[in-house]
Amino acid sequence: MHDLQEWTRRLRDQDMPVLALTVQQIAQASERDDSSAAEISRIILQDSALTARVLRLANSNFFNPAGHPVSTVSRAVVVLGLNTVRALSVSVAIINTLMNPPRERVMQDMARAFHAAVQARSFAQACRVRDPEEVYVAALLYHLGRMAFWCFGGETAQRLDEALQADHGPQARTEMKVLGFRLSRLTANLNREWRLSPLLGDALEGAGDNRVHHVKRGIALAEATEQGWDDPETLRLLKRMAEEAGVSPEEMTERAHENARLAAEIAADYGAPDLARLIPRPGAAVRDQGPEQTEAAPAPWPEPDPALELRILRELASTLEGQPDVNLIFNMVLEGLHRGVGLDRVVLALLGADRKRLQTRYCLGPDTEPLKAAFDLDTGASPGALPSKVLGSPRAHWLRDLDEARSLGIPGAVLGPVIEAGGCLVMALTLPGRPVGLIYADRQPSGRPLDADTFTSFMHFCQQANLGLAQVFRTGA
């Protein structure tokens, strides 16, 4: 197979379809300024492993040097900024795919990519250029096509590997001879298909954004240090970078040494600790990494986590002390119910401006499509069509009986089986004197029972949502 377009289609549709879907969803959400933060949060939360790694990175010294605690993806968007969280989520999704299972050439390229990305971001910061996180992503993914090819190229990748071992000339020339195209063109195609990074596109074309220079400097330094930190090319690069950043060669060298150590730490935070040994670090910067730790596989369902629940409630309270954004509050509440309380599915529905229709606005968890329809209700229909008694009540309801649910106007066609299987939780969202919507939650997909502690926690989060609504209403935010 020697056709570039065919390789692009194969990677997109056959070898990496789940990754392609996740990346495309994030890209599409990023293009909608009015909803991108909420959309990206929900996309990340669909994957518990992705959520855990994004939050681990969001709390790292590298991305969060001020040390602001971040317990929710929604909060990460506020603390780090939407662009940084988008960059983290896309890069985590890609690297997680390429590292399973790990392959020698992929690991070598990935280690170099981490090192290049950290050096490029640091150099961009030293030169005070805009959006250094974009420089980081462009450097990290600069050889994406090559890494994907080593992962999924099969016999063709084996032939290229053998050719590279036999021919010590320029790698691009060998790629052309074996494949008929350079793997950098595969990176460019994937970048366009998945809308990863305009800066990456510019870097591959060698034109456009002036930050391309910082991307290339990071890549060149990472490659040079593989020949040693005292290698003449490494020393020459460090001297040139110092001149461009307006600092002394000693300061630039010290910064670069620290960046090498950071790159090893960041690789571990991405879930790839084995890469640390492949990142060249000067003797003064080498630290004992300790025994390798294997990450536990994520649980199939969100388990109750009282410590996380408390942290999210504290972050909610802190958010309410300022000028809260209602969408942020709703997202933090739903994330707290899903990840902290351990509820499988959570739905938030709001009354429209004319107060004649209840519509689902936010969902978390698996198999929520039936719930979206269940809470898309016309208030002008028969009294039983709308959960009017729930909307008019200030208390939370734990529904375990079909007759009770019917008396409250809960839609039975979808929720009847849920209630019979173990019940559900529902509480109204209110402003002073009037209802504005409701929050619903259950554990129907996992079949796990609800209990009194879960009900109490559900009520606490709903009360926080109502406090947030009242605060927004008072401040006019």
Q: What is the pLDDT of residue 37?
A: 73
Burial class, 358, CB count within 10 angstroms (exposed 0-12 / middle 13-18 / buried 19+):
buried
* Helix, strand, coil distribution of the chain in percent, nearest 5: 60, 10, 30
* Predicted local confidence at residue 291, as pLDDT: 44
Write down the residue that tokens 């008072």 correspond to: 474
The answer to whether 123 and 241 have CB atoms below 8 angstroms apart is: yes
CA dihedral 146, 150, 152, 153 (to 10 degrees): 90
Give me 332's structure tokens. 């933090």
Count the neighbouring beta carbons within 10 Å of the beta carbon of residue 403: 8
Query: Rounded to the nearest 5°, which phi and psi values hold at 235?
Result: -65, -40
User: Residue 414 has what pLDDT?
Assistant: 59
Find where tokens 């990840």 sit.
Answer: 339
Contacts of the segment 289-298: beta carbons below 8 A, 24+ positions apart: 289/264, 295/271, 298/48, 298/49, 298/52
Rounded Cα gap, residues 334 and 84, in angstroms: 22
Round to whole Å and give the CA distance between 240 and 121: 16
What DSSP string describes 255-312? Answer: HHHHHHHHHHHHHHHTT-GGGGGGS---GGG-----S--PPPPPPSSPPP-HHHHHHH
pLDDT of residue 136: 94
Half-sphere exposure of 388 (CA within 13 A, CB side): 12
pLDDT score at 234: 97
In order of their start, the domains of the chain are 4-285 (1.10.3210.10), 306-475 (3.30.450.40)
Print pLDDT tens along the chain (477 aa): 458 999 999 988 877 877 777 887 887 777 665 556 777 888 888 888 889 989 999 999 889 988 888 999 988 988 888 888 888 888 888 888 888 776 788 999 999 999 999 999 999 999 999 989 999 999 999 999 999 999 988 899 999 999 998 987 888 899 999 999 999 999 999 999 888 889 999 999 987 678 999 999 999 999 999 999 999 999 999 999 999 999 999 999 999 999 999 999 999 888 888 888 899 998 733 344 444 455 556 677 899 999 999 999 999 988 888 777 888 899 999 999 999 999 999 999 998 887 778 889 989 988 888 888 878 877 654 444 456 677 878 889 998 877 777 776 666 665 777 777 778 899 999 987 788 999 999 998 998 999 999 999 999 999 999 999 988 887 765
Query: CA 111 to CA 102: how far, in whole Å?
Result: 12
**Residues recorded for the chain:** 477
Give the span between the Cα atoms of 125 and 259, in whole angstroms: 12
Q: Rounded to whole angstroms, how far apart are CA atoms 436 and 201?
A: 46
Give the up-direction half-sphere exposure of residue 293: CA atoms within 13 A in the CB hemisphere. 10
Q: Is 139 exposed, middle or buried (0-12, 13-18, 19+ CB in 10 A)?
A: buried
